[in-house]
Amino acid sequence: MKTIKNSELHVLYGLIYKPELAKSEYVDPAWFYYQPFATLVSYINKLDTAPGYVLLRNGFEEEHPHAMRSEDWEAIEQSDETTASFGPWLHVLKREYNRDQVKAAGVAYGKDPSNDNYQALLEAVERFNGVAHNDDPGESLDDYAEYVRRRVERGDVVRGIETYPQLDTLLGGGFLPSTMVTIGARPGVGKSALAVNLAQLALQKNKGVSIDMFSLEMSANSVNRRLLAAFSGIPSQKLINPTLTLSPEDITYVQSIADKMAGYDFRVYDSRVTLPQIVQVIRRRVAAAKHGYMAIVDYLQLIKIPGTGKGTDQRYRQIGMITGELKRLSNELEIPIIVLSQLNRRVESQDVKRPSLSDLRESGDIEQDSNTVGLLWSRTPLAGEGEQAVNVPDVRDEVLTIAKNRDGELGEIRFAFDAPKMRFRPTL
């Protein structure tokens, strides 16, 4: 592949993940040295709507089947920028293009010093001067040091969404903005229950926070019942038919807890099962959130992408597209996203059920795109697996191993998991 300018990659990153930017500022395909990118910009410019990345890519490849290679898409995806830097990088791209035009006009005038070529050179210089007065986006260590100094002077503090103190410490201050945290576990270990506990603590400790849970396996009623169990301490099974299983005093107590829960901004979506639907909801909810936002996706392998094929190889590609899109969304909107994931069956064949990163199902892209990976596993022997497990004690000894942490520490948190009450309590 030809050498591609950083400015081309960063501007295209903004365009493919936020195509509406092309409607706010004109992006000329001629500014792109690499022809496949110029073709992509032409396609984006003529779109009437602003689709998400997956739909945009599928539509482009259908109209221009051989214009872009997978390496081209990967180069854009890995540009490690956010759409917030689109403006400065667009300026750099225009300036580089106009500088090259000045060079070409100078060469032409040197070969043929005619009036036409002289005029063309003057016009090229004028265009270049018109965009050259702005600063480049900082890339050097000096630029970053200045950025840190300004933040210290303003007293800026990056605050995460707090849950368990032990987990907050490992994460560097809670679930931080622009992070994707993946939690993997085998069926029956309790990853959905842990997610509910994280939501519960986030709602209690972070005033006014907005939290969405995309439940692709359980109904919204089931999730809310688990949340009520976690808040109240009443076993979840007893809340299925409370008039038959609870005393009048318990019913009054549960109602008071439910009334308190109604004041939290927590929503469960059990019918948004495709990636574009999830992305659309998150964008809309972040725009309305006033005191922070966090999304929880339960779970990764159940997300669907419309218009893509079936088969093992195709599914690996889809998982990469899903994790890549969620990671970029967390960067762009500066929010934390928690993604639950299945682990491979081979964990069950081990004498010690302690999983590793390689046990993540379709692990390559999941591990790569996640800022943090936690692996939940049980130290309590279980006879069987998942729903088929028998002789399972109500309270189990479980561990959350932080196996990857790009911006924080590695470590483990021991929990006592009270399964009937859906409560995870840290232990020493």
By annotation, the residues acting in catalysis are: 217
CA-CA distances (angstroms) from residue 310 to 53, 60, 123, 315, 427? 20, 20, 54, 7, 44
Dist CA 409 CA 403 (whole Å): 9
Nearest to 228 by CA among 248, 253, 208: 253
Give the number of other Cβ atoms within 10 Å of residue 257's Cβ: 16
Dist CA 42 CA 38 (whole Å): 6
Whose tokens are 């000894």? That residue is 397
Look at strands 336-342 and 293-298 and give their pairing. Answer: parallel
- Check if the beta carbon of residue 221 is closer than 8 Å to that of residue 399: no
Dist CA 27 CA 13 (whole Å): 13
Dist CA 368 CA 370 (whole Å): 6
Positive or negative torsion for Cα 346, 317, 331, 263: negative
Give the number of other Cβ atoms within 10 Å of residue 312's Cβ: 7
DSSP three-state, residue 19: coil
Cα dihedral 233, 234, 237, 239 in deg (nearest 10)? -120
In the 8-state DSSP scheme, what is residue 29?
Answer: G
Dist CA 34 CA 3 (whole Å): 8
Dist CA 97 CA 386 (whole Å): 59
- Beta-bridged to residue 338, according to DSSP, are 181, 296
Contacts with 384 (C-beta within 8 Å, 6 or more apart), sequence order:
390
